[in-house]
Amino acid sequence: MSSPVKRTQWDEELTQFRQDHGLSKKVLLNCCLVRRIISWASPSKKDSIEDELELSAVRHRPEALEQLEAQTRFSRKELQILYRGFKNECPSGVVNEDTFKEIYAQFFPQGDASTYAHFLFNAFDTDHNGSVSFEDFVMGLSILLRGSVQEKLNWAFNLYDINKDGYITKEEMLDIIKSIYDMMGKCTYPILKEETPRQHVEIFFQKMDKNRDGVVTIDEFIDCCQNDENIMRSMQLFENVI
């Protein structure tokens, strides 16, 4: 994902020019002859070229190490290790959804991890700007690995609640479960049947939905999980991941 040197130089010059002349980016782009020719030649491609220019111009630099140390529960060394890995895969400093899906899919070669990765992406992208920066990444990880059980459950609820309205409906849960089953792929034992995800959702709702109103609220969810030994134990599973 590294852009060639020329483009970096160009966009540095671009930024410089813009700043010198007090032009907004849009104005500058609109004046650009090249862009005009391109837009004339292929009018439908206007957005993608602009997007490409936008993304390539974005060079996100994370906050200072001290700040991140204060905001998350990772030690300095851990943050260093995390950042190195992050930067290796995403030199521009942000992950967009496609890269995210790609990376996640590498861990599940047998199935299709893209749907679950999409949900994960939305869960990590807390400010919903379409890209996950290192801060988002590390905040999410901090909750998952070093947070209290309450926080972790909160995060999980947030993941399941696709439209972030505070309720998990059966459809949302079905989507989530299906995406998890998708990751298994085709070659499973026993063979994956059509109704397996639905059954799974039913079991989940039976367990979680105390007042039988068809949705699971955050309180029901946290209550129920805290009463379930398995879940509580499994939450502690990844303590020593870093």
Partner 1 sequence: MAAGVAAWLPFARAAAIGWMPVANLPMPVAPSNKNKRQDELIILNVSGRRFQTWRNTLDRYPDTLLGSSEKEFFFNEETREYFFDRDPDVFRSILNFYRTGKLHYPRYECISAYDEELAFFGIIPEIISDCCYEEYKDRKRENTERLMDDLEDNKDSKLPNMTFRETMWRAFENPHTSTMALVFYYVTGFFIALSVITNVVETVPCGYMPNQRDVPCGERYTEAFFCMDTACVMIFTVEYLMRLFAAPSRYRFMRSVMSIIDVVAILPYYIGLVMTNNEDVSGAFVTLRVFRVFRIFKFSRHSQGLRILGYTLKSCASELGFLLFSLTMAIIIFATVMFYAEKGSSSSKFTSIPASFWYTIVTMTTLGYGDMVPKTIAGKIFGSICSLSGVLVIALPVPVIVSNFSRIYHQNQRADKRKAQKVQKARLARMRISKSGSSTAFLHSKRNGLNQSLELTQLPYYKMKLSPQGSLEEDQQLKKTTSLLESQHHHLLHCLEKTTNHEFVDERLYEQGYLQTALQNFPSQSPSLSSEEGITGTCCSRRPKKNIQPLNATHTHSHTHNLQELSALHIQCGEQQPLNTSRSSLNLMSDESGSLNCKSSGLVTTAIISIPTPPSNNSRASPDAPSPPNPEAPPLLNPSSTDVVKISAL
Site for partner 1, rule CB under 8 A: 77, 81-82, 84-86, 88-89, 103-104, 106-110, 116, 119-120, 123, 137, 140-141, 144-145, 152-153, 155-156, 159-160, 176-177, 180-181, 183-193, 196, 200, 203-204, 208, 221, 225, 229-231, 233-235, 237-238, 240-242
Q: Given the complex with partner 1, which of 29 and 137 has the nearer CB atom?
A: 137
Query: How far apart (Å, rounded) are the C-alpha atoms in residues 129 and 94?
Result: 11
Q: Given the complex with partner 1, which of 94 and 183 has the nearer CB atom?
A: 183
Q: At its nearest, how many Å lie between partner 1 and the CB of residue 212?
A: 19
Q: Given the complex with partner 1, which of 10 and 119 has the nearer CB atom?
A: 119
74: left (phi over 0), alpha (psi -120 to 50) or beta: beta
Q: At its nearest, how many Å lie between partner 1 and the CB of residue 1?
A: 10
Longest dimension (CA), the chain: 66
> Does residue 143 contact residue 152 with C-beta atoms inside 8 Å?
yes
Q: At its nearest, how many Å lie between partner 1 and the CB of residue 163?
A: 17
β-bridge partners, 217: 167
Q: At its nearest, how many Å lie between partner 1 and the CB of residue 52?
A: 22
Tell me if residue 197 falls in helix, strand or coil.
helix
Q: Given the complex with partner 1, which of 32 and 180 has the nearer CB atom?
A: 180
Query: How far apart (Å, rounded) are the C-alpha atoms in residues 95 and 72?
Result: 20
Q: Given the complex with partner 1, which of 42 and 75 has the nearer CB atom?
A: 75
> Does residue 216 contact residue 201 with C-beta atoms inside 8 Å?
no
Structure tokens at 120: 């994960």
> Does residue 223 contact residue 210 with C-beta atoms inside 8 Å?
yes
DSSP at 8 = H
> Does residue 74 contact residue 242 with C-beta atoms inside 8 Å?
yes
Q: At its nearest, how many Å lie between partner 1 and the CB of residue 50?
A: 29
Residues 225, 121, 115: CA angle, nearest 5 degrees: 85
Q: At its nearest, how many Å lie between partner 1 and the CB of residue 136?
A: 12
Q: Given the complex with partner 1, which of 53 and 132 has the nearer CB atom?
A: 132
